[in-house]
Amino acid sequence: MTNTHSAVPLHHRYLARIVLEASTPLFVGSGDQSPLHEALVQRDPFGFPMIPGTSLMGVLRHALYQNKTEWGSFFGYHEDRDGEGSRLKISAAYLLIDQGKVAEGEWRDTYERPLRYFKELPRRQHVRITHRGVADTADNGLFSNEVVYQGCRVKFELELKSDGSPDDEQRWMALLAQFKHPGFRIGQGTRKGYGALMVRAYRWRKFNLGHAPDCEDYLHFDPSLNALEVEKQLLTETAADKAEPEGGIYYRLKLKPDAYFHFGGGPGDEEVAHTTVSEWVMRYDEEQSLLAPDLRLLVPAASIKGALRHRTCFHYNVLQKCWAEAIREESDREKVTGTKNAAVYTIFGSEREVLLTATVEGNPSRKMPPQRGHLIINDQDLPAPGMEKIFNHVAIDRFTGGASDGALFSEKANRTKGLTIDLYLDRTDFDDSNIITALERALYDICRGLLPLGGMVTKGHGIFTGQLLKDSKPYHPYDHNH
């Protein structure tokens, strides 16, 4: 194997330490299971959640590696008998627990208090929905996983071996800017609202090892992430400009509920049979020490995604003039619904290979590989308990017209002054205008109260009205005079 970069002296080092905060819950899976969860998060030796360096490296490489010439010597590559090792090194990202420090070295009694918050992490339940809008009863239709609290902060280090060229510095800045890209997500479930991160602290420096003072500083730089004093050697910089995605579209829904909404939290409590979902959010004080988590109402991105997925499928079929009366058999219906619908496959992705059946005469059917979705939605959280109301119900005996014995039940629903939902559509590798139009019509249906969100919508819950913004501008695709 040859190494094309080995003859160039790498006499410079770029070193950065970054603190990221989880804007939404995280799920970096460990591959393990438990009696309660099908998937558990990755943890460090002390039991705190962590993000492996391989996860960070993989996301950055996927986002930036356009070609071997530009990025091959940066991330490394292997092609037949030709290849090169990576010049970039990334540590694992560890949880900040006390005064900006992570858990490392030997066990300390001070780890006991913060660790109790992470012994039982929040649990997310999921159910696959069919093209009929009901739960999938097939194997693995219902599943759950752990998530790391929103608000958790992690710290890690990056180091780049460089020849000091302007090209290397430009790529280094592009790498750092990637942490502010809207598509930068870590872990699994990034299209279900997980994995969004924001930069909380940012320090980096370029060391010229041919310059004696720089070389001395580099040789005495403490590798411990808890060496806060030595970090003063790193320059405090404003992070590189936000990486503005080419061709991406930002949407914002500014909504108000007409009445109440209900995003189900599973089993009931001592008051009602059906509760709304809430989740703990982690907090820090000014010294970056963990505080007790705060309970918040949750609007899961998965619930919003499910409603949009179903309605986008409908609008795309309308645009393709694929009408219901022309579909006679169940097998024909499946060809234009679910992931076999081109809009659903493109925007929301598919975990398996699909055959996209042509809905326009003359267009061939296409076999498409598995892919992740292009639409990113964040989980939203609201103050808890908020404006809460209990609704009581009773089932009626159809013969007597009276109440059925043992059929009294109730649920909690919530109300809020306003709800803002941000979405980002990455359209870098597709240009079908009908797909985008179908999504935008589905979003606008939410704003007009035609597409309820959440559960128990047949009882009047989940109807929102409001405004849709596209790239910060009002979006009005319909003539309101008709």
Q: What is the pLDDT of residue 277?
A: 85
Tell me the average pLDDT across 142-163.
Answer: 89
Asked if pLDDT for residue 139 goes beyond 70, the answer is no
pLDDT at 29: 79
Q: Where are the domains of the chain?
A: 12-236, 245-482
- Across the range 54-77, mean pLDDT stands at 83
CA distances from 459 to 181, 259, 442, 451, 471 (A): 40, 11, 21, 14, 34
Q: Nearest-CA neighbor of 160 among 8, 16, 58?
A: 16
For residue 427, pLDDT over 70 is answered with yes
Q: pLDDT tens for residues 197-240?
A: 999 988 999 999 999 999 999 999 999 999 888 888 887 665 55
> What's the rounded mean pLDDT across residues 251-257?
93
Summarize the confidence of residues 385-408 as an average pLDDT: 78
- Model confidence at 21, in pLDDT bands (50, 70, 90)? very high
CB neighbour burial string for 209-222, b if at least 16 within 10 angstroms, e if fewer = beeeebeebbeebe
- The pLDDT-based confidence of 334 (bands split at 50, 70, 90) is low
Instruction: Give the per-residue pLDDT at 464.
Output: 94
Cis omega before residue 385 (within 30°)? yes
pLDDT for 14: 94
Instruction: Report which listed range, 78-82, 254-258, 350-354, is most confident.
Output: 254-258
Look at 14 and 237; give whichever has higher pLDDT: 14
The pTM (predicted TM-score) of the whole model is 0.82
pLDDT at res. 5: 47
Measured CA to CA, the distance from residue 59 to residue 196 in angstroms comes to: 12
> What's the pLDDT score for residue 87?
92
Report phi then psi at 411, rounded to 5. Answer: -145, 155
pLDDT, residue 254, reads 94
Most confident segment among 106-110, 137-141, 323-327: 106-110
- For Cα atoms 156, 161, 166, give the angle at the middle one, nearest 5 degrees: 110
Label residue 452 exposed, middle or buried (CB < 10 Å: 0-12, 13-18, 19+).
buried
Confidence bin at 137 (pLDDT 50/70/90): low
pLDDT digits (tens, 9 = 90+) for 173-199: 989 988 988 888 898 888 888 889 999
H or E element that contains 252: strand 249-257
Specify whether the CB–CB gap between 374 and 346 falls below 8 A.
yes
Of the spans 80-84, 224-228, 325-329, which averages the highest pLDDT?
224-228
Beta strands in 23-150 (DSSP E): 50-51, 77-79, 82-84, 88-90, 93-98, 101-102, 123-127, 142-146
Report the pLDDT value the prediction gives residue 332, as an integer from 0 to 100: 67
Alpha helices in 202-250 (DSSP H): 212-219
Task: Answer whether residue 449 shows pLDDT above 70.
Answer: yes
Does position 290 have pLDDT exceeding 60, yes or no? Answer: yes
Mean of pLDDT values over 7-19: 88
- Predicted pLDDT of residue 4: 46
Residue 129: is its pLDDT beyond 80? no
pLDDT band (50, 70, 90) for residue 441: very high
The pLDDT of 333-344, averaged and rounded, is 81
Residue-level pLDDT at 482: 40
Band (2; pLDDT cuts 50, 70, 90): very low
CB distance 408 to 392 below 8 Å: yes
> What sign results for the dihedral spanned by CA atoms 319, 320, 326, 328?
negative
Q: What is the mean pLDDT of the chain?
A: 83
H helices, E strands: number in the chain? 9, 28
Q: What is the pLDDT at residue 368?
A: 83
pLDDT band at 404 (very low <50, low <70, confident <90, very high): confident
Give the pLDDT confidence score for residue 481 in this predicted structure: 46
Residue 479 clears pLDDT 50, i.e. is over it = no
**pLDDT confidence band for 434 (50 / 70 / 90):** very high
Instruction: Give me the half-sphere count of Cα atoms (radius 13 Å) on the Cβ side of residue 476.
Output: 4
- Is the confidence at residue 308, as pLDDT, over 50? yes
Average pLDDT (444-450) is 94
